[in-house]
Amino acid sequence: MKKTLLASAALAALMITTGAQAAEKTKFDFWFGLSGDLEKRVQEVCARFNASQNDYEVVCTSQGNYDAALQNTIAAFRAGKQPTVVQVYDVGTATMMLSDAFVPAYELMEKNGYKIDWKDYIGGIAGYYASSKGQMFSFPFNSSTPLLYWNKTAFEKIGKTAAPKTWEEAHADAEALKKAGYECPIAINVSQNESWQLLEQFSAIHGEPVASKNNGYDGLDAELVFNKTKFVKYIKDLKAWYDAGLVKIKSKDQGQDMVQAFAAGDCQMIMTSVGDHGTVGRTAKEDLSWDVAMLPVYEGTERKNSLVGGASLWTLKGKSPAEYKAAAAFLAFVAEPESALFWSTVTGYVPVTESGFAYMKSHGFYDKAPYKGREVAIASLTATPPTPLTRGLRLGGFTQIRAEVGNGLQEIFSGKSDVQTAIDGMVTRGNAILRRFEATYKGKTLP
């Protein structure tokens, strides 16, 4: 409290002394979708930028959530009142790329005289926001990837000191934990967007496609194919383990979601974003000894890099050169290693560049609790250089496809239909969404 007071007093003093120049500052808008604690963190980034120089001022406004940020920006854009910079979540990337409403990141920086080393961006992150030719269209901002969170105390009881590396091992561990009296060896959730961990990330690290045409990167006529990949076996296994009591479903609807269940020590393994690392650390019950590891793969699989989740920063068309100059300065500021250290310290997100990661390592960020373990996320994102199937997903209507996957998973785990039928259903209905998207953008191609 005192600190923030001091900081704001300092800021106020700064504003008074720079009052003369303040009139000439170029102001621009930045809309974002984070709320609650993360909203404050973004505002801190904005305040740091505004305090760092005298030429530009960013006005940051939270729109409440990712969906609202995108909808409100679209409405504003159609009315010609769009912000200069907007945060768009990962699944909105395909829509953005076809929108014809943005200035590509590489073009913006080039025109305003910034030399960004695009190769510095961590492969698994860059691929998601780059065109098929490899040019970056937006700046990765808050980035995460899923990890396996495991309870060390429980694993000690079954004589293990490391997390399972394969699903075969995880299965054996779950059975041992069950025998040792643990009610909920593995917790999953199927109520929201868990397609992210269960389908998208699983497929990436196993090198399996989610859709044809290299997951949609090579054309809008891509079709979903995950009803014929290892994903089917994976869900069959999860369902069998669920029936055997090794896997429990933990969702908000039931009163305790999986992160809470893990932090309370009720469940021993969960798969969730590195972004939850801080939450688990803060809310874990006192004697909980836990760690994170990369998601398991099936035996005989060569592990590939996992995909980035989160959101990126897009610059929109229709603004003045002065505003673009200001936006470029802001984006360059956000990309600095010092900003990465600040951002990753106050949130659970990972640095997006190699240099940011190196800078954080050299500052000892990963050496001690509560940040120790988060380097596993970078290891997961960089497990291999991105392959055509692990750059990301470039599929239209992906919010709806995720909902179809969620519905299918709910059918499976409530016993309403068998695994293959339900997954075939997800694919059929998902393909209808893709065809609709393709028809909407008839004659356009992905950049």
Tell me, residue by residue from 251 to 290, as one string, x for binding to other proteins by CB under 8 A and - for no binding: xxxxxx----------------------------------
Interface positions, 11-50, toward other proteins (CB under 8 A): none
Q: Cα–Cα distance between 173 and 42 in angstroms, integer?
A: 40
When asked if residue 192 is in the footprint of other proteins (CB under 8 A), the reply is yes
- Cβ atoms of 304 and 209 within 8 Å: the answer is no
Q: Among residues 365 and 398, whose Cβ is nearest to other proteins?
A: 398
Q: Which one of residues 114, 342, 366, 441 is an interface residue with other proteins (CB under 8 A)?
A: 441
Q: Cα–Cα distance between 314 and 432 in angstroms, integer?
A: 28
Shortest separation between residue 86's beta carbon and other proteins, angstroms: 12
Provide the pairing of β-strand 26-32 with 85-89.
parallel
Q: Cα–Cα distance between 375 and 361 in angstroms, integer?
A: 9
Q: Among residues 184 and 341, whose Cβ is nearest to other proteins?
A: 184
- Cβ atoms of 72 and 31 within 8 Å: the answer is yes
When asked if residue 439 is in the footprint of other proteins (CB under 8 A), the reply is yes
- Cβ atoms of 33 and 63 within 8 Å: the answer is yes
Q: Which one of residues 53, 289, 320, 440 is an interface residue with other proteins (CB under 8 A)?
A: 440
Cβ neighbours of 133 (radius 10 Å): 6
The number of helix segments (H) and strand segments (E) in the chain equals 21, 11
Q: Among residues 20 and 439, whose Cβ is nearest to other proteins?
A: 439
Provide the pairing of β-strand 184-188 with 267-273.
parallel
Shortest separation between residue 39's beta carbon and other proteins, angstroms: 18
Of the candidates 12, 252, 296, which has an alpha carbon nearest to the alpha carbon of residue 149? 296
Q: Cα–Cα distance between 334 and 330 in angstroms, integer?
A: 6
Shortest separation between residue 272's beta carbon and other proteins, angstroms: 18
- Cβ atoms of 144 and 275 within 8 Å: the answer is yes
Q: Which one of residues 54, 191, 283, 345 is an interface residue with other proteins (CB under 8 A)?
A: 191
Shortest separation between residue 10's beta carbon and other proteins, angstroms: 38
Rg (CA), the chain: 22
Residues 6+ apart with CB under 8 A from 79: none
Q: Among residues 99 and 273, whose Cβ is nearest to other proteins?
A: 99
Q: Among residues 102 and 365, whose Cβ is nearest to other proteins?
A: 102
Tell me, residue by residue from 62 to 81, as one string, x for binding to other proteins by CB under 8 A and - for no binding: -----x--xx--x--xx---
When asked if residue 428 is in the footprint of other proteins (CB under 8 A), the reply is no
How far is CA 208 from each of CA 204, 216, 391, rounded to the nearest angstrom?
6, 13, 12
Shortest separation between residue 300's beta carbon and other proteins, angstroms: 33
When asked if residue 445 is in the footprint of other proteins (CB under 8 A), the reply is no
Q: Among residues 243 and 253, whose Cβ is nearest to other proteins?
A: 253
Residue with tokens 């809470």: 260
Q: Cα–Cα distance between 175 and 184 in angstroms, integer?
A: 10
When asked if residue 99 is in the footprint of other proteins (CB under 8 A), the reply is yes
Tell me, residue by residue from 381 to 420, as one string, x for binding to other proteins by CB under 8 A and - for no binding: ----------------x-xx--x--xxx-xx-xx-x----
Q: Which one of residues 98, 172, 232, 346 is an interface residue with other proteins (CB under 8 A)?
A: 98
Q: Among residues 86 and 378, whose Cβ is nearest to other proteins?
A: 86
Beta bridge partners of 150: 269, 291
Q: Among residues 73 and 214, whose Cβ is nearest to other proteins?
A: 73
Which of the stretches 34-42, 360-368, 380-388, 430-438 binds other proteins when contact is defined by CB under 8 A? 430-438
Q: Cα–Cα distance between 240 and 251 in angstroms, integer?
A: 19
Which of the stretches 104-112, 324-332, 335-343, 437-445 binds other proteins when contact is defined by CB under 8 A? 437-445
How far is CA 42 from each of CA 34, 48, 111, 217, 344, rounded to the nearest angstrom?
8, 10, 26, 31, 12
- The residues that touch other proteins, with contacts defined as CB under 8 A, are 67, 70-71, 74, 77-78, 95, 98-101, 191-192, 249, 251-256, 397, 399-400, 403, 406-408, 410-411, 413-414, 416, 429, 432-433, 436, 439-442, 444
